[in-house]
Amino acid sequence: MRTIGVFDSGVGGVSVLKEVLRKFPADNIIYFGDSLHAPYGEKEIDEIRSLCLKVSDFLVYEKKVDALVIACNTATGAAMDTMQKRYGIPVVGVVENGAAEGVKYTHNKNIGVIATPATIKMDLYKKSIAKIDSSIKTYSVKCPLFVGMIEKGWEDTLENDELIKSYLNEFSVEIDTLILGCTH
């Protein structure tokens, strides 16, 4: 029986955790939500990497996990390569799967990405999508105000609808696929 560590910059990774539990029902799963340092999405890349390494060191060296799943887009971009080199275990993130799904569903080859400022700054989805299909154009919008909206507990309100519409109106072309990269 393996032990798989799943971590996120908060509690948003619970959706990833559910999928890990579904795919690996016989394994031990440890979930670490770093709410103390959330949100990661507005921090500098070096600080995010440092936070990720503290969490992953704990999971690898203290909890003895056999694999790590980074359930955070921002953390995937900031630290996955470093973590893959640092530990002798599988380390996977969430960006490649999101990019692959976006590529699968686009018809006009214009994909929109809404995410944290850090995720957009690293061009994570643009790079991942280009590896799959270089003819696809990726357009990104930073959504820093999603943090407050999500932290207050998602509610279907006029104010939230207007915030979402304001971000979506920033796309200068017609996209037919939208990737919600991350909120924190």
As annotated, the active-site residues are 72, 182
Cα 64 to Cα 42, 53, 69, 88, 161, distances in angstroms: 30, 15, 14, 12, 43
Amino acid at 26: A
Q: How far apart are CA 8 and CA 184, in angstroms?
A: 10
Q: How far apart are CA 108 and CA 26, in angstroms?
A: 41
Task: Give the H or E element holding residue 18.
Answer: helix 14-23
